[in-house]
A and B are shown apart, each in its own frame.
Chain A
Amino acid sequence: MSAGLLILIKFTLLSGIVLMYVALGGCFSEHSGVINIALEGVMVIGGLFGILTVCCIPKNLPSFLIVTISILVAMISGMIYSSLLAFASINLKADQTIGGTALNILATAIALVVVKHYNSTITTNNAQSPKLNYDNSLFIFNVGPFTLNVFIILGIVLLVLSYFVLYKTRFGLHLRACGEHPQAADSVGINVYKMRWAGVLISGALAGIGGMAYIVPSVQEWNFEVGVGGMGFLALAVMIFGKWNPGYIFLGSLFFAVFKSLANIYDSTFLASFHLTKEIYNMMPFIASLVVLMFTSKNSKAPKAEGIPYDKGMR
């Protein structure tokens, strides 16, 4: 039982921190007024280029540098990919949901092309494999009975930082004003377009790390055909459940992560006595999000102007 509990905690932390990164990302984007439904796609891109960096970087570099550089690459590739969304929805005033959906579809495709091409350059057999193999040992360390990874530490730091930035700084006050009432922000001299770009880019960076944090710590091989398995969408649910507030988002991520982790312990604990298949448990977080959102979305605290392209001329 206690071994089961330990495993539950381990997996809850693993996926909880991923959900938190991505939901925080969504939170920045939506507070600026842009619905970032492309989080799923951004995670794929961030994970892809982060892992490629781990694969390609010279192995004789200090491990600290390898970790830092690959995470930075994940962040930057996430930012670049989400800048497509920013350009479409802020400058071209395109529909944000449609733009985001397109980016989600595109991301998995890009990942497959890149991975297959990469595999064909390093080996002649199995050239069409959609899988990447990598070494994740640098990202993991043990504290007592717990296996932790760098993403957990970094995540906690970014959580606190996010709260501070959103609610205690001038930047945060401006950002949230753009998502609530862009006309008001504009009338006091805040550049709405700039703030929205900032929001989307920050969300890209966080979701990029999120993608890497999802893939790297738990396995040494990843099949990019599955993308990130709906974690980006789950993170959107966490963000809504978390009322667009970093503190609640943290709690929400843990809540959903528990459901996600049930699939990892179903055969080793008391859950085994229910004789349910693994698929049922795999569905749990999504069913939970459906139920939870049904009850909570009514009193949602969504930024009022999110999803509406800002047009200076409209007053």
Chain B
Amino acid sequence: MADYVIEMLGISKYFPGIKANDNITLQLKRGEIHALLGENGAGKSTLMSILFGLYQPDEGVIKKDGKVVKINNPNDANDLRIGMVHQHFKLVECYSVLDNIILGVEPNVAGILQKQEARSKIMELSEKYGLQIDPDAIVENITVGMQQRVEILKMLYRDNDVLIFDEPTAVLTPQEITELMSIMKKLATEGKSILFISHKLAEIMTVADRCSVLRKGKYIGTVDIKDTTAEGLSTMMVGRKVNLKLEKKEATPGEVILDVNNLTVASNSSKKDAVKNVSFNVKRGEIVCIAGIEGNGQAELIQAITGLSKQKKGKLTLCDKDISHESIRYRSEHGMSHIPEDRHKHGLVLDYNLAQNIVLQRYREPEFSKFGFIKFDAVKKYAEKLIQKFDVRCGQGAETIVRSMSGGNQQKAIIAREIDKNPELLITVQPTRGLDVGAIEYIHKAILEQRDSGKAILLVSLELDEVMNLSDRILVMYEGELVGEFKSSEVDTETLGLYMTGAKRDNITKEATK
């Protein structure tokens, strides 16, 4: 019999109206990395919340080391040495790294903290597992990667031997992901058992030993990674064959739609300029992608182009009109659509309903208003048309409050709104961030369709797969400058990586302005 450290047998969990988990079985071997794969809403998080004591299962048992256990709250989980790195880190931002690690299990004499003792144990663990941290740094000042190492150290400090990682790579840069993968492997060789929740197939293929797949709350099966392929996994996850590779025709670029000339933009976070003298253009019928590691000026570049912030200098031309100093509304009404990176902050008013969100930019048009009063019937009808056309799934149709919708459907709603405006230029930033394979496939297809119908598309993405898959032309951004320009058919990810990290650069600013 195999040596299972955790067994979750026949777990069911009901929420009002839905079966979040339906008779699920999950067996974790000692010292393995076990991936838990499923689309958004497949029940992964619910299952892990049950294991971590945040929910109680309605049916089924959990066994730790072969013995049936009852986990009523995170403290019980901790006593059973089960630890979890949550998708949104649970760190007190104004505390030091050390304080965060010991929080809840502080060494103390009569209530008075004894930090010296903790410090030596933390440094020992940090060295043993190669988790580099600065114990005295304040959490809000350290990188996301280091915050994640702090979360891992929190588990190790508590001597946890079952480690749950809930979508740990969603917030990391490619380099940090590689590092995390090697840390996870190291933890596994040291005897820790790891549950790795993800919907990124490439990562699962790299790091996991076995993979269990959930779909719509049901258990589909468990496979050995060495016996399967990414395609096989995605079929299990979605229930049908998914094209991981987009089929696309060669682009046929037409005239220039967007022209960016010597653009310089101040940084959001520091005193330096985030975008330095950048020039490029986007033509009709092509997808131009700005690739780069997060924080190299992409965000500021897009904010300046869309009008969310003012550039310091430089000229922006949209369809031969100078828009350098025009308002966001002007840009939006003259052919610019924007699918923003942060859909909650810049894309939607979460507490408005779907119909109101869909006419957010167009409510003033005669079609939707008269004498300053909104024609609610027309708005609703239009929203219902888009819901149909773009297959947005929402509980109460046009009346659904957007906050209650899943991330994928929120994104679809934005895409519906922006595409149906029939823009000349579609700007899209990280359009598939945090979405599952099915939704990604849908969105990629939609963007490609727009290209083929003669729109100019500017894509910003941190995911190299997406960059390679979708774009016709790739511009690499590093420290606020464009350091490389490639045709996507003539470059590989390794080369792009070199440019993205600043190891290589070309001088392309002049050429692109032509």
Contacts and interface: CB of A to CB of B under 8 A. Distances in A.
Interface string B61-75: 000000000000111
Interface stretch (A11-19, A37-45, A177-185, A205-213): A177-185
A153 to B, nearest CB: 24
A275 interface: no
Given A173-B103, A177-B103, A181-B93, A187 B74 contact: yes
Nearest to B106: A170
A95 interface: no
A237 to B, nearest CB: 22
A180 B94 CA distance: 8
Nearest to A303: B94
A157 to B, nearest CB: 18
Given A168-B113, A170-B106, A189 B75 contact: yes
A115 to B, nearest CB: 41
Interface string B103-126: 111101001110000000000000
B410 interface: no
Contacts of A301: 94
A180 B92 contact: yes
A132 interface: no
B91 A184 contact: yes
Pick the 10 closest A-B CB pairs, nearest first: A188-B104, A184-B90, A189-B75, A187-B90, A180-B92, A181-B92, A170-B108, A170-B106, A169-B111, A177-B92
Contacts of B84: 187
B432 to A, nearest CB: 24
Contacts of A87: none
Say which size band chain A's interface belongs to. Answer: 20 to 34
Interface of A: 168-171, 173-174, 176-177, 180-181, 183-190, 301, 304, 315
Contacts of B95: 173, 176-177, 180
Contacts of A170: 106, 108, 111-113
Contact of B74 (A168, A171, A177, A189): A189
B106 A173 contact: yes
B90 A173 contact: no
Contacts of A168: 112-113
Contacts of A181: 90-93
Contact of A189 (B78, B94, B99, B113): B78
9 contacts: A169-B113, A170-B108, A170-B111, A170-B113, A173-B113, A187-B86, A188-B74, A190-B103, A315-B54
Contacts of A173: 95, 99, 103, 106, 113
A21 to B, nearest CB: 23
A190 B92 CA distance: 13
- Determine the main DSSP class of A at the interface with B: helix
Contacts of B105: 188
Say which size band chain B's interface belongs to. Answer: 20 to 34
Contacts, number: 64
Interface string B476-513: 00000000000000000000000000000000000000
B289 to A, nearest CB: 34
A180 B99 CA distance: 13
A287 to B, nearest CB: 31
B90 A183 contact: yes
Contacts of B73: 189
A254 B78 CA distance: 47
Contacts of B112: 168-170
A193 to B, nearest CB: 13
A184 B101 CA distance: 11
Contacts of B54: 315
Contact of A180 (B86, B93, B108): B93
Nearest to A190: B104
Contacts of A180: 92-95
Given A177-B92, A177-B103, 10 more contacts: A170-B108, A170-B111, A174-B103, A180-B93, A181-B93, A185-B92, A185-B104, A186-B74, A189-B104, A301-B94
A170 B75 CA distance: 17
Nearest to B102: A173
Contacts of A186: 74
A185 B111 contact: no
A240 to B, nearest CB: 16
Contacts of A177: 92, 95, 103
A43 B256 CA distance: 70
A190 B113 CA distance: 16
A304 B95 CA distance: 12
Contact of A185 (B75, B78, B103, B108): B103
A177 B95 CA distance: 8
Contacts of B94: 180, 301, 304
A185 B54 CA distance: 14
Contact of A171 (B86, B103, B111): B111
